[in-house]
Structure 1
Amino acid sequence: MTRKEFKPHIACLKALQGQDGIAEDEKYTLRLAIRALEKQCPQPPVFKDKDGNIDMQNGELQCPSCGSRGIIGCKYCPHCGQRIDWSGEEEE
């Protein structure tokens, strides 16, 4: 699935989470499901310099979620599990 395809599913879970009458344990379960879907939603790696600023020329490839630097060639970040999109294409 693409990021665009994940968006309505995540939005639906967030809407459920905000409804009245949802028990705290159900809200917790929804938060876990949202987090899991967000991790499966492919995100492109980011180039950041030592100060954390985006720098396409001098920066290092990092995980967009946790900032881990050991992601080159990985489908998922080995530190946080974020799915990495290596296609180089930006989605709207």
Structure 2
Amino acid sequence: MDHFDAARSLAASVGITIAADPRAIREWALVKALTGVFIARERGLLPMATDVVVHASGHYADELLAPLREEHIVRADTAGALAKAVLAATDA
């Protein structure tokens, strides 16, 4: 979370709003990619003058995509229960 505010700020500079509350974020790919760039630069692996393109589709929060409703969730706490749920879904 050390780079979270910097990732939010950088994303905001190109019109992407990342939720201020990390608990609301459901897809972290964009935040992770930006964090990787920050860390690579800090470690000298990526020179500061280097341009980097990060694909920005990997981000959403509850306000962009509502969480799955409880009636659509199948819980599995064992490998057998997971196999049963997957097989049932393929027969649907």
Instruction: Give TM class, smaller chain.
Output: under 0.3
For the pair shown, the structure with the greater C-alpha radius of gyration is 2
**TM-score, normalised via structure 1 length:** 0.24
**TM-score, normalised via structure 2 length:** 0.24
